[in-house]
Amino acid sequence: METSSDKMNSVKETFIRIDDENSRTSKTEINILCFDITNYSQLTQFLSCSIFVFIFYLAYGYFLELIFAKPEVKPVSLYITLVQFMITMLLSYGESWIRNPIKRKVPLKTYAVLAALTLGTMSFSNLALSYLNYPTQLIFKSCKLIPVMIGSIIIMRKRYSFLDYVAAIVMCVGLTMFTLADSSTSPNFDLIGVLVISLALLCDAIIGNVQEKAMKQYQASNNEVVFYSYAIACVYLVCITVFSGILVDGFAYCAETPVEMYRNIFLLSLSGYMGLQAVLTLVRICGATVAVTVTTMRKALSIIISFLLFSKPFVFQYVWSGSLVVLAIYINHYSKKHPHYVPASLSSCWQQIRNYYDSEYRYLKMKTKMYTDTV
């Protein structure tokens, strides 16, 4: 006859089996593109994602400069951006067809804003290459911290740490020196390029906050956000290019060498989309700090390759000004782990100033009271 203790043990075993089975089925699946890397070690997952980031984003930078660095592309850059957006949208839809169908969770009005910001980021970035060297454009894109801080201080009334302000100052100095080096060496340098890439940087700084809020609030997938953002942006671009005449001009320009142009645009879109997916997977595995470190190293390598593959004058000012930007990025990420860090010497100096101020304030207050009593 089964005792009560035996019944309790069988119940425990049942619960244990159920928990184990649930833990196995609820294990998060990790994919990089169409490859399942869930069962591999974290080191293997990190190395795989990093390799994909380097390969695809280096290819993206190469094709971006190959297409948009030509002066004759400037009037039809929006048409090329339209083709790029259409290919990216189709790639996103194709991935959803392979994995899971896209089910919209975010309201269309939010996607309308995201599409406008995506359009601003990509179109301004592409157009800037007609005015600036690719290394200068890349340095500007690395300085998203500055508009984010300014916007948060003005709009959100947010306070930043000492290291954040140091990072912003160092980044401004490095960015200014890099731009001055480009203006002195690049024959087609134009201040309009600085304005255009600054607008792209502003859109890029805003779009991250909007995407994060939408994905957290509505539990939307990365693929859904990419598909609807680019699809609605395509509608914007079709309207703009049709009414401005750029659609006809761009089609005529690409028709001169259709195989070469559309092949390069397709490879640009494919490498950019795959690089984006690799970065998102890297963020899920190792966190945003590690992902930004990898992408920063990729940007440094992209700048080196740009100077090697595309003939452009080089001065040593590019090296140390770019190093200042990299240092600023490192300081900014270090401040995330140590938000209250202030150097001991600076803290001591500030404390002495406060003590001096307090003592003088007390002295003046006492003298004022004595004068008031005398009067």
In a domain, 37, yes or no: no
In a domain, 16, yes or no: no
**Band of residue 276 on the pLDDT scale cut at 50, 70, 90:** confident
In a domain, 94, yes or no: yes
Q: Write down the residue that tokens 């956000």 correspond to.
A: 225
Among residues 343, 342, 329, 340, the alpha carbon closest in space to that of 148 is found at 329
Encoding tokens for residue 57? 């984003």
The highest-confidence range among 65-69, 100-104, 144-148, 329-333, by mean pLDDT, is: 65-69
Write out pLDDT tens, residues 180-198.
665 556 655 567 878 888 8
Beta bridge mates, 189: none
Among residues 230, 185, 235, the alpha carbon closest in space to that of 207 is found at 230
Question: Taking residues 261-267, what's their average pLDDT?
Answer: 95
* Helix/strand number for the chain, H first, E second: 14, 2
In a domain, 117, yes or no: yes
DSSP letters, 325-347, are HHHHHHHHHHHHH-TT---HHHH
Kindly report the average pLDDT of the chain as a whole number.
Answer: 75
d(Cα 188, Cα 134) in Å, to the nearest integer?
12
pLDDT of residue 31 exceeding 70, the answer is no
N-term to C-term CA, the chain? 104
Q: What pLDDT does 234 receive?
A: 95
In a domain, 19, yes or no: no
Distance, C-alpha 58 to centroid of its chain: 16
pLDDT of residue 23 exceeding 50, the answer is no
Question: Taking residues 299-316, what's their average pLDDT?
Answer: 67
For residues 124 and 199, the answer to whether their CB atoms sit within 8 Å is: yes
Q: Write down the residue that tokens 């592309």 correspond to.
A: 73
Instruction: State the residue range of the domain holding 260.
Output: 43-367
In a domain, 266, yes or no: yes
**Band of residue 316 on the pLDDT scale cut at 50, 70, 90:** low
Per cent of the chain over pLDDT 90 is 17
Burial 238-267 (b: 16+ CB within 10 A, else e): eebbeeeebbeebeebbeeeeeebeebbeb
d(Cα 205, Cα 156) in Å, to the nearest integer?
14
pLDDT of residue 13 exceeding 60, the answer is no
Structural domains counted in the chain: 1
Mean pLDDT check: name the lowest of 22-31, 102-111, 296-305: 22-31
- Going from the C-alpha of 172 to that of each of 35, 66, 140, 155, the distances in angstroms are 40, 28, 10, 21
Q: What pLDDT does 217 receive?
A: 78
pTM value > 0.75: no
Residues sharing a CB contact under 8 Å with residue 199, sequence separation 6 or more, in sequence order: 120, 124
**Band of residue 367 on the pLDDT scale cut at 50, 70, 90:** low
In a domain, 24, yes or no: no
Residue 277, CB-side half-sphere exposure with 13 Å CA sphere:
22
d(Cα 72, Cα 86) in Å, to the nearest integer?
22
For residues 130 and 317, the answer to whether their CB atoms sit within 8 Å is: no
In a domain, 92, yes or no: yes
Write out pLDDT tens, residues 154-180.
655 667 777 777 877 777 777 667 666
d(Cα 198, Cα 318) in Å, to the nearest integer?
19
